Chains A and B, each alone.
Chain A
Amino acid sequence: DVQMTQSPSSLSASVGDRVTITCRASQTINIYLNWYQQKPGRAPKLLIYAASSLQSGVPSRFSGSGSGTDFTLTVSSLQPEDFATYFCQQSYILPRTFGQGTNVEIK
């Protein structure tokens, strides 16, 4: 299985901050990397697909980059509704695997 490792596991930030989350794959996955946001009691929501493509309806302050094994999710200016847990997921090979999550908390 492809292991997905996110860092950090959690972070504290303020409204307006620029936030970056990293995801590393245990083998190359080309650009087959997706990012999700999950709020408590809710299902995950697709934010970014194919490493850098913004899912329809997702604010442009979210962006993704990377290829191969190293990827990043950036929120350019954190908003109150962005405090949540973020997961990366590879869609290069079966079984699909997810990172362990990054919890973004209010400082």
Chain B
Amino acid sequence: QVQLQESGPGLVKPSQTLSLTCTVSGDSISSGSYYWSWIRQPAGKGLEWIGRIYTSGSTSYNPSLKSRVTISIDTSKNHFSLSLSSVTAADTAIYYCARDRTNGFDYWGQGTLVTVSS
């Protein structure tokens, strides 16, 4: 069974960098069969795709966040990571990692709430 688990600080100060890691089990992120994405959801609101990475390290980002986002991958640890710089209160959200098979996100992490506050 494929499982994804987000980890990282739940509280980040304004102007600092949000860093999260998604650890994958039950599948190898180096298999080359899927992309691996980050998606966020402000409380009570809709879903926003942040970006994705392939096993090769190739990335694609949402233009709305591109200047502040970096997604990286560590195949030896079977995990991928999100870094979002210069955060503001508008970045407060539940952050999900998900397996992206092009035709939909078929496995998701449980999500982790990140609050931006001083």
Contacts and interface: CB of A to CB of B under 8 A. Distances in A.
Interface of A: 1, 32, 34, 36, 42-46, 49-50, 53, 55, 87, 89, 91, 94-101
Interface string B57-88: 00011111000000000000000000000000
A46 B105 contact: yes
A43 B46 CA distance: 12
Contact of B102 (A36, A53, A91, A97): A91
Nearest to A53: B103
Contacts of A1: 63
A89 B104 contact: yes
Contact of B46 (A95, A96, A99): A99
7 contacts: A43-B96, A43-B98, A49-B104, A49-B106, A50-B103, A91-B104, A95-B64
A101 B46 contact: yes
Interface residues of B, number: 22
Contact of B104 (A34, A42, A43, A95): A34
Contacts of A87: 46-47
User: Which of B96, B102, B104 counts the most A-chain CB atoms under 10 A from its CB?
Assistant: B104
B63 A95 contact: yes
B109 A43 contact: yes
B110 interface: yes
